[in-house]
Amino acid sequence: MSMEVISPRSRGFLFTNAHPAGCAAMVQQQIEAARKGRSAPAAGGTSLIIGASTGYGLASRLACGFAYGMKTVGIFYERPPSGKKTGSAGWYNSAAFHGAAHGSGLSCASLNGDAFSNPLKQQAIERLRDGFGPVDLVIYSLASPVRTHPDTGATLRSALKPVGAPYTTKTIDLDKEQLVEVTIEPANQDEIDQTVAVMGGDDLRRWIDALLGAKLLARGARVIAYSYIGPQMTFPIYRSGTIGLAKEDLERTTAELDRRLQAEINGNAWVSVNKAVVTQASAAIPGVPLYLSLLHSVLTDRGLEEQPIHQALRLLEDHVAAGATPTLDAEGRIRLDDREMQSDVQAEIDRRWQRVTSESLRADADFDGFKTEFRRLFGFEVPGVDYSKPVETEVPLPLD
Ligand code: NAD
């Protein structure tokens, strides 16, 4: 037992602790949205979500379970509570998921470990064999700055840099809450290669090889890999940068897997291009907190704002749940970023991007909304949570 009053602790803008009750409340909000989002009877089946504890992966798991009655197997890499240190947000999110799923009679299992490794893939195969059977839906939602290569043991690191030329952008200095200009030097070839090795398609291919080899993909199974494109304005740091090259590699791999799954199991693999949202991964990209603050404001003004749970529900309902036929773009991708990319939305973001200053961060952009959303990722500033009360930090995470 370790009852404590938890106040946010941060290093720079990043939080180094998390609030168990706040994380649980955030999960509960998404469960309610998932339940509301679907009136038709549950579809059933099993989904495997790789990267299931935060952001898009968690939302996908909640939508699969609570809106579609699917069994879910979740893979993630999270820090358990230990001594004076709280667990990570993803630890508490997953504990809350398991509690709620059990309460609702939803079958689930989780594996906490390195998804890039061969032993973890083997454990997932064994866990699926022992209790779940073939998977109907695989969602690949990993975001990681580092990968230990499963064959060589080399440590590979992803870089968030432009390619070919330096990139100068407005960005928010998150500590000082001021707009500043930063210049990021272009990546060298080694940084490009390592980023593609971490965030490209190699690991997804290995997952699908392992599942096909073990006959654990059901006939007609669907595989979804998450990607992002975004507007021209962020191209130098995102789509044409190191991370964009990794996403292109992921997209090429997914297209190859699609052909293979069609031939072998009458299945499919598609990329889903999702909208930009505030997550631990996205907030780390230079210029993106400013873009997210503008996007949130412009979409909210138009009644078009969506959280990851709404995107996950739309993905299932419109494109990939049993019986749904996906609408694909010319490159064969599902586009959940349609509202973000609407020309009127982008034109307004562009106008505000040009004129925004430190003084107008709260008028032209919703910087306070960005900060609140970011804090809520760690369970802080969640409405209805009494932060003056001690909470149990040693929350167990039952993996079954
Ligand atoms: P996130 O940081 O919230 O989640 C990352 C997940 O990966 C967590 O569950 C974490 O535990 C897991 N993970 C990381 N390293 C791991 C490892 N070695 N082994 C096992 N699990 C590991 O990230 P996110 O923003 O939700 O991103 C998920 C996907 O969605 C990424 O492919 C990202 O590019 C894509 N996407 C994100 C956005 C956005 O704006 N956030 C937009 C479009 C697409």
Ligand 1 mean position, distance from CA 114 (Å)? 13
Ligand 1 mean position, distance from CA 363 (Å)? 30
Name the residue of 77, 114, 293 to mutate for ligand 1: max ligand atoms within 8 A of Cβ. 77
Spatial neighbors of 105 by CB under 8 A, at least 6 apart, are none
Looking at ligand 1, which residue's alpha carbon is closest to its atom 42?
Answer: 276
| Pocket of ligand 1 contains residue 289 by CB under 6 Å | no
Looking at ligand 1, which residue's alpha carbon is closest to its atom 34?
Answer: 227
CA 378-173-169 angle, 5° bins? 120
Strands 146-148 and 71-76, by their bridges, are unpaired
Residues serving a catalytic function are 238
Structure tokens at 25: 């409340």
Ligand 1 mean position, distance from CA 388 (Å)? 31
pLDDT in the model for residue 41: 53
| Pocket of ligand 1 contains residue 116 by CB under 6 Å | yes
Looking at ligand 1, which residue's alpha carbon is closest to its atom 27?
Answer: 143
Ligand 1 mean position, distance from CA 185 (Å)? 25
pLDDT in the model for residue 265: 98
Tell me the CA end-to-end span of the chain in Å, nearest whole number.
Answer: 22
pLDDT in the model for residue 321: 87
pLDDT in the model for residue 84: 87
Could you list the pLDDT tens digit for every one of the 400 residues in the chain? 689 999 999 887 789 999 999 999 999 999 999 999 776 656 689 999 999 999 999 999 999 999 999 999 999 999 999 988 999 999 999 999 999 999 999 999 999 999 999 999 999 999 999 999 999 999 999 999 999 999 999 999 999 999 999 999 999 988 888 999 999 999 999 999 999 999 999 999 999 999 999 999 999 999 999 999 999 999 999 999 999 999 999 999 999 999 999 999 999 999 999 999 998 778 878 889 999 999 999 999 999 999 999 999 999 999 998 788 999 999 999 999 999 999 999 999 999 999 999 999 999 999 999 999 999 999 999 999 999 999 999 999 988 8
| Pocket of ligand 1 contains residue 280 by CB under 6 Å | yes
Residue 276 CA: nearest ligand 1 atom is: 40
Ligand 1 mean position, distance from CA 343 (Å)? 27
